[in-house]
Amino acid sequence: MAQGPALGLELADQLADDPRLVAYPQLPAVRATFLQRLGRPGDARREFERAAAFSQNADERRLYLSQAAALIDP
């Protein structure tokens, strides 16, 4: 975050190759946040939906789906 969302997204993408994180819901949620800050709401929405699909916690899943629903393509 300190060096901007583009670098943050790049770093998060590097983590996506780690097999231990394939179904970790926070990784797509982090990617979604960076994508949102980069002005890419459609991509961010898809990542929040992925995060929700991976989450095993109902409250967390609702949060991610709410965040996805709030994003509107320009």
pLDDT in tens, 7-18: 999 999 999 889
In a domain, 20, yes or no: yes
Domain hosting 30: range is 5-69
pTM of the model: 0.91
Number of CB atoms found within 10 A of residue 26's CB = 14
Over the stretch 15-73, which tens digit does the pLDDT of each residue have?
988 999 989 999 999 999 999 999 999 999 999 999 999 999 999 999 999 999 999 87
Give the three-class secondary structure for 37.
helix
Q: How far is CA 29 from CA 2, 7, in A?
A: 18, 16
CA distance readout (Å), 10 to 48, 52, 63: 17, 22, 24
In a domain, 74, yes or no: no
What total of structural domains would you count in the chain? 1
Rounded Cα gap, residues 17 and 31, in angstroms: 13
